[in-house]
Amino acid sequence: MHEFQRVLDEGVLADPGKTLVEIDGEMIALFHVGGVYYALDDVCTHDGGPLADGELVDHSIACPRHGAKFDIRSGGALTMPAVRATKAHRVKVADGGVWVAVGEPPASSSIGHGAAEAAAPATAPQHSPQPAAAAASAASPEGAETAPAAAPVAAGPLSEERVREMLKEVKDPELFVNIVDLGLVYGVAFTDAEEAGKQRVLVDMTMTSPACPAGPQLIADTKRVVHTHPDVAEVEVRIVMDPPWSPERMTDDARDQLGIF
């Protein structure tokens, strides 16, 4: 059992209310809702935002940076862009004070693990697309008739619409939703390349947070996919953080995939 430490006097924190306390060098967000106290790490698992600064509504707290919501009873991620829970700690009221045992999960730890966590695979799949011929062979029994192979995404004249369709092959490794439907692609432009008949493609895109760990992979995959078009000589990806990304940029298809209604 982890040791309980007194963090404040009972009745000091309003109901509903929230505050920030420090326990052994760790910043803990403390909440008081419906006569019950709850404690979470003061960390949004999406980009490290301070949860204690967010908006508290019933039993959910919203990260002030990108709006990811967590259940204060369990730490469960309720909405995108967070896909992992933040850590919850056991709280008790005794001897006129509120006590927190950092590292001791609450009895209600199974409450509030919502659609955001359910949408994320336990192990993020790597980007290793199976060749179309191999995929068709694996999916069809020997001797069975197979449908004609679909035209490659790169087919057709080079245009912004074509590039955006190609970029739907690039998926966020945590959310497993393509970057176009996530709203990460801000713009596509073209300039003439030195090689006759070829184009240089400029892709303006953003990340869900400035320190997104998937950034290098998404940039590399974007260049790889766009470069498959025969009219492309070079691909440049420019990262744009203004305006910052927010969940409102997602398409309805992305929301359906992630269970956001």
Task: Give a three-class secondary structure readout of the chain.
Answer: CCCCEEEEECCCCCCCEEEEEEECCEEEEEEEECCEEEEEECCCCCCCCCHHHCEEECCEEECCCCCCEEECCCCCECCCCCCCCCCEEEEEEECCEEEEECCCCCCCCCCCCCHHHHHCCCCCCCCCCCCHHHHHHHHCCCCCCCCCCCCCCCCCCCCHHHHHHHHCCCECCCCCCECCCCCCEEEEEEEECCCCCCEEEEEEECCCCCCCCCHHHHHHHHHHHHCCCCCEEEEEEEECCCCCCCHHHCCHHHHHHHCCC
Write down the pTM of the prediction. Answer: 0.56
pLDDT, residue 149, reads 39
Domains and CATH numbers, the chain: 5-119 (2.102.10.10), 156-258 (3.30.300.130)
One digit per residue, the tens of pLDDT, for the chain of length 261 reads: 579 999 999 999 999 999 999 998 899 999 999 999 999 999 998 878 899 999 999 999 999 887 889 999 999 998 878 888 999 999 999 999 999 999 998 876 545 455 555 555 444 333 333 333 333 333 334 444 444 434 445 567 899 999 999 999 999 887 889 999 999 999 999 999 888 889 999 999 999 887 787 888 999 999 999 999 999 999 999 999 999 888 889 999 988 887 776
pLDDT, residue 154, reads 58
